[in-house]
Homo-oligomer: A and B are copies of this chain.
Amino acid sequence: MKELDMAYFGGIETGGTKVICSVGENPEHIVSDVNFPTTDPPETIQKVIDFFKPFYEQGDLVSIGIASFGPVDLNLDSETYGYITTTPKPGWQYVDLLGEIQRAINVPIAFDTDVNAAAIGEQSWVPGNRSLDPFLYMTVGTGIGAGVISNGVPLHGLIHTEIGHIPIPHDWGKDPFPGFCPYHGDCLEGLASGPSMNKRWGVQPEMLSDSHIGWELEAEYIALALLISIYTYSPQRIVLGGGISKHRGFHQSVRERVLKMNNGYIQSSVLLENIDDYIIAPKLGNRSGVLGAIAMAKNLMENIEHLPTL
């Protein structure tokens, strides 16, 4: 590899509604940045390629990380590795996202889910988070998902985590809404995503007043999701992000409910005495995903450089 004057990493976050692309060395040194709506795959992917092409042609682009909405295929041995697979998003089923970009921009490309990338971003770039493992990032917005770093790398396997679709207790007396998931009805996402709140109350969540019962119900469902996350992953820190989490007082309301639901069972001072530092808001704001993608691009090169030379 030639010595580069400029060694930039590219980050791409493809979301359900918009795409963010960024080029730079790290969060403090971003040289270019763009975002645009997610339309059909050919147009959207072309815009991604157009953004990176100049850096690629100047030889300044070392590698890229892609953080994609899912489900995606993360199995390196699969013929559809790097594809978006069974998404309900019209036109995006079985799109070869990684392949299309790779054919235009021939640098090493890392690929993962948007939430795993966000977990990598918050863990890699926020100093106090680096030693915390497992490390969990949960987003509550258009969808609900979680990324988990375990023993230093994102948790993958059969596919990837799909915590948004877990069954959770649903008190039909308190909440007669039947849920809004086409697969499961009243799973976590069916009860507590932004579109579910919209459907239940007839308005966008941000239109609900602070004192609306909808916020209490939402905090209750997300506290259940976090309690389940704590009991399954035993994370050392949880970052709770996404549009819904930005509602005033939401983190505090969720924390109180988690402690109440735990009822003293897990006796960890981190949880019992210091929950404000245990369940936190993203430090990278809306940029956890794309900055995580840049971290993935950087990690990829460090791993490649550690391989024995032939």
**Which residues of A from 147 to 162 have beta carbons under 8 Å from B?**
150-153, 155-162
Query: CB of A234 within 8 A of chain B?
Result: yes
Query: CB of A34 within 8 A of chain B?
Result: no
Q: Complex: how many Å from CA A167 to CA B188?
A: 12
**Which residues of A from 228 to 283 have beta carbons under 8 Å from B?**
228-236, 261-268, 270-271
Q: Complex: how many Å from CA A268 to CA B153?
A: 22
Number of A residues, CB within 8 Å of B: 47
Query: CB of A86 within 8 A of chain B?
Result: yes
Known: A162-B266, A232-B232; 4 extra A-B contacts, CB below 8 A, are A161-B231, A161-B232, A167-B224, A169-B170
16 contacts between A and B (CB under 8 A): A85-B267, A86-B267, A134-B157, A150-B150, A151-B151, A157-B233, A157-B234, A157-B235, A158-B234, A158-B235, A158-B236, A162-B230, A162-B231, A162-B265, A165-B265, A167-B261
**Contact yes or no, A158 B268, CB < 8 A:** yes
Query: CB of A6 within 8 A of chain B?
Result: no
Query: CB of A130 within 8 A of chain B?
Result: no
Query: CB of A216 within 8 A of chain B?
Result: no
- Interface mask (A72-116 → B, CB under 8 Å = 1, otherwise 0): 000000000000011000000000000000000000000000000
**Contact yes or no, B234 A183, CB < 8 A:** no
Q: Which residues of B contact A183 (CB under 8 A)?
A: 262-265
Distance to closest chain B CB from A148 (angstroms): 8
Query: CB of A227 within 8 A of chain B?
Result: yes
Q: Complex: how many Å from CA A155 to CA B135?
A: 11
Given contacts A169-B169, A233-B232, contact A155 B162 (CB under 8 A): no
Distance to closest chain B CB from A80 (angstroms): 11
Q: Which residues of B contact A227 (CB under 8 A)?
A: 166-167
Query: CB of A31 within 8 A of chain B?
Result: no
